Structure 1
Amino acid sequence: MTAPPRIDDAAAAAAAAIDWDKLGFDIVRTRSYAEYTWRDGAWDAGVLVPSGPLSLDVWATSLHYGQACFEGLKAFRMRDGKVRVFRPDVNARRLQLSCRAISMPEVSVELFVEAVNRAVTDNLDFVPPYGHSGSLYIRPFVVGSGPQVGLTPAPEFKFIVVVNPVGDYYRGGISQPVRAVIQHGFDRAAPRGTGHTKVAGNYAPCLGPTTRAKKHGYTVMLFLDPKTNRYIDEFATSNFAALTRPDVNGRRTYVTPRSRSILSSVTNRSLTELAVKHFGWTAERRQVSWDEVRSGAFDEVVACGTAVVVTPIGAIDREVLLDTAGASADPRVAPLSSATTGIEHLWDDAELDNYTDDDDAAPRAVQSVEFSSNFEGFKQLQKAYRQIQTGDLDGWESYGWMLPAAGL
């Protein structure tokens, strides 16, 4: 792909003024974003749009039924001075899965990679220098942009790639474990729903419960499977991964849940492969019960994802509501045999409120598990992972994860 002409504008001055040592995980206005439109059965050739308020013609006519999905990946300036993107082909295939799930036209792997490279190339001066912990965060998304009143797919779609330089998501990194909570009465996804995809509807519902959890001192929420509430699914922000204690030879087992409701994390997948290929450990992807976690089966537990890589979990609390006899109960669920009569009582808006005062005041118990590990295993994994992204790991090229191979 031919690189677009450089734009000598205010964006260049903005990039030059960035203090890379103080780069946080916040919005930074870059030069441009890449935008592609699907209509009449095909994606067009795309354009680079100068950054600014998104044009009203894209969004004002967006009468659609929540058709939106997105991805998250990063570009790095590596030891050789070239910029490369971490595993864009895997993100492209996951975006295709999300598009299929909610009846949107798929973006081919080739188009996805082209669009990502196009946006990154036009914003190369916003990629943090080699030697800094930051990266260029890339957010590709597909959204229904054509007007549609009936319950059918939108007639037009936008595929847009925006970029933003970022630092560490959590300043403390892996040296500061956080506390997680399993809140009673809220499921991230429905059984056999879209929990395995990165669609917008999976994330907005988590914001309310997450805000509530943070008010009680928790950093992140953990969800159990929506069908039985017995097995670990994933955190609100990322996948669940764990390591067993090292055996006499120093080898560990990397364990991560398998579930129809879990997003297939590129970070989790990559850490699993590193555990096996680089460290010679074993790996298991299977059902992981809450009772197994509580019993102390794992030495280290983390949340892993693109933004954070790994967040060490120091403790997990699970809320269990109790009835007056001290048994588990769910006051939000009315008995199935109950009936309501009288037109003024048939519909009650209050019953739709997930967090009523009565519920907050209900008696509850907390099941807790704490991890006293120093997270040496995941520290090793994270170091190797980052060294691939910076080009400092011997043989990083053999993984084929940093693309394009020749760099941008």
Structure 2
Amino acid sequence: MSGAFPLSRTTDPASETDRRGILAAPGFGRFFTDHMATAVWTSATGWHDRRIGPLAPFSLHPSAAVLHYAQEIFEGLKAYRHADGSVWLFRPEFNARRFARSARRLALPELSEEDFLTSVEELVRADEAWVPTADGKGSLYLRPYMFASKAFLGVRPADHVTYSVIASPAGPYFPSGVTGISLWVSTEYTRAGRGGTGAAKCGGNYAASLAAQTEAQQHGCDQVLFLDETGGEGGLEESGTMNLCLITAAGELVTPALGTILDGLTRDSVLALAHEFALTPVERAITLAELRSGAADGTITEVFAASTAAVITPIIAFKGRGYEFTIGTGAPGKHTLALREHILDIQYGRTEDTHGWLHRVL
């Protein structure tokens, strides 16, 4: 597939009045822009029919493989408007490489980094009016995804696949301020096992987390914390939608090692920034027993979660069967808030991008 996604503009765009009303309070994932990127892959011809066209429903045969065997993957990244009106992506190459890795794991065709970037860039250019103003609060969330659109029943890789990118304006993840969340430590459910799809960004992982998320809410918690296959006092993995990070009194920034968890972009960025905040980045196994004892004796001073949607989310309390405990004073920690602000400052162009992470689109 070549790099170009030619544009065919919609004849029925949202009115300026409607768009302004949506951008004033977009929430997250509630509204969508006027266009979408699409491309098709078949085993006979490879990638073709690439385009940017009007946002429209897909027409799928009831036997489409994705509906029966969940052969699909997705990504999530954002476009940010800077004070001078320009529009930038944050580390989109990372998303492109992870998308390719997820495709290999789900036996889907790989999309080149160039084609991934081009499809995202051209959609942002087509729907530039939907990128929120440069107030440092809103962004345009982009969702590239790929699914098996072949009509057949049978457990084998599909030979007809559809790729698409849609966009959704997003407001601040914490409209009332960053106050911190609580996690329910699940011993009933595990997120992934060795050799499974834990490192891939596929819908099945998230569907399987919903029961655990419901369990967390029933116990008065905001999100779930998954443990590894050993359960009980086993190793920490990640939250339902976010990677987990701990800060110790000794100045370490500790996060569970990769393998059965998602290689998160924000997690990776935090590890790269750690030294700038006098923290030593460490990737290793962390047990629930270590978390509980560290919270009790003060050797673990802060805990936060990292994701594209929320950037950095302070975690201030944990609850499990027969116990609960807080982290530090029960308020967001200073390193957590400083890392969050620094990443946001880079994304919105308020500080120098010394890592070369920003990618200009307009």
Regarding TM over 0.5, the answer is yes
Instruction: Give the distance between the partners of 2:203 and 2:332, measured in 1 at CA.
Output: 35
In structure 1, distance between residues paired with 2:17 and 2:94: 32
2:108 is the alignment partner of 1:110: no
Indicate the residue corresponding to 2:270 in structure 1: 271
Mapped to 1, the partners of 2:91 and 2:277 lie a distance apart of: 20
Larger Rg: 1
Tell whether 2:214 aligns with 1:257: no
Alignment check: 8 A CA contact 1:148 1:155 kept? no
Cα distance change on mapping 1:151 and 1:3 into 2, 3 Å: closer
Question: Which residue of 68, 73, 76 corresponds with 2:72?
Answer: 68
Code of the residue aligned with 2:180 in structure 1: it is P
Match of 2:243 in 1: 239
Offset at 1:378? 1.1
Output one character per residue of 1:219-266: Cα deviation in whole Å (capped at 9) or x when no partner. Answer: 000011124551110001100011123x6xxxx321111142110000
User: 2:121 is aligned with what amino acid?
Assistant: N
Q: 1:284 corresponds to which residue?
A: 282
Which amino acid in structure 2 is aligned with residue 306 of structure 1? T
Task: Provide the residue aligned with 1:141 in structure 2.
Answer: 145
Name which of structure 1's ranges 298-307 and 365-374 shifts more when overlaid on structure 2: 365-374
Matching of residue 298 in structure 1 with residue 300 in structure 2: yes
Confirm or deny: 8 A CA contact 2:7 2:53 kept in the other structure: no
- Select 2:214's aligned residue among 205, 211, 219: 211
> Is the Cα contact below 8 Å between 2:303 and 2:327 reproduced in 1?
no
Counterpart mapping for 1:7-46 below 5 A: 9-13=12-16, 16-18=19-21, 20-39=23-42, 40-46=44-50
Q: Deviation at 1:367?
A: 5.0
The 2-side partners of 1:81 and 1:2 are apart by 24
Mapped partners of 1:15, 1:122: distance in 2: 17
Flag the 1:153–1:6 CA change in 2: closer, same or farther, 3 A: closer
Name the residue aligned to 2:185: 182
Alignment of 1:36-185 (within 5 A): 36-39=39-42, 40-52=44-56, 54-56=57-59, 58=60, 60-64=62-66, 65-174=69-178, 176-185=179-188
Paired residues, number: 350
Q: 2-side partners of 1:384 and 1:162: how far apart?
A: 28
Instruction: Give the drift of 1:10.
Output: 3.2
Alpha-carbon distance, 1:317 to partner: 1.2
* 1: CA distance, partners of 2:319 / 2:324: 6
Whether the 8 Å CA contact 1:32–1:49 is kept in 2: the answer is yes
Residue deviations 1:1-55, cap 9 Å, x none? 6984765743252564235453322411311110010012511151123123x13
Q: CA deviation at 1:366?
A: 2.6
Question: In structure 2, how many angstroms separate the alpha carbons of the residues matched to 1:143 and 1:88?
Answer: 20
Deviations 1:301-360 (A, max 9, x none): 0111011111111111122xxxxxxxxxxxxxxxxxxxxxxxxxxxxxxxxxxxxxxxxx
Distance in 2, matches of 1:267 and 1:143, equals 25
Post-superposition offset of 1:293: 0.8
After superposition, give the CA deviation of every residue in 1:89-141 in whole Å (9 maximum; x if it has no partner).
Answer: 10111111111111110111111001111111111000001114010000000
What residue number does 1:307 align with? Answer: 309
Q: Is the 8 A contact 1:242 1:254 kept in 2?
A: yes
Inter-partner Cα distance in structure 2 for 1:135 and 1:295: 39
> Matched residue of 1:136: which SS?
strand
Partner of 2:340: 382
TM-score, length of structure 2 as denominator length: 0.90
- What's the CA shift for 1:171? 2.7
Aligned partners of 2:18 and 2:358: how far apart in 1?
Answer: 24
Q: Separation in 2 of the partners of 1:148 and 1:220? A: 37
User: Could you tell me how far apart the structure 2 residues matched to 1:387 and 1:237 are?
Assistant: 23
Which segments of 5 or more consecutive residues in structure 1 lack a partner in the other structure? 320-364
Answer yes or no: is the 8 Å Cα contact 1:254–1:284 preserved in 2. Answer: yes
- Indicate conservation of the 8 Å contact 2:5/2:52, yes or no: no
Deviation (angstroms), 1:201: 1.0
1:14 & 1:99 partners in 2: Cα distance? 40
Structure 2 unaligned segments of length 5 or more: list them: none
- Inter-CA distance 369–290: structure 2 relative to 1 (3 Å threshold): farther
Instruction: Specify the code of the residue in structure 1 equivalent to 2:268.
Output: R
TM-superposed CA distance for 1:215, in Å, is 2.6
Q: Would you say the 8 A contact 1:15–1:125 is kept in 2?
A: no
User: Aligned in 2, Cα 1:82/1:4: closer, same or farther, shift over 3 Å?
Assistant: farther
| Structure 1 residue 144 displacement after superposition | 0.3
Rounded to whole Å, the distance in 1 between the matches of 2:173 and 2:262 is 20
CA distance in 2, matches of 1:59, 1:34: 21
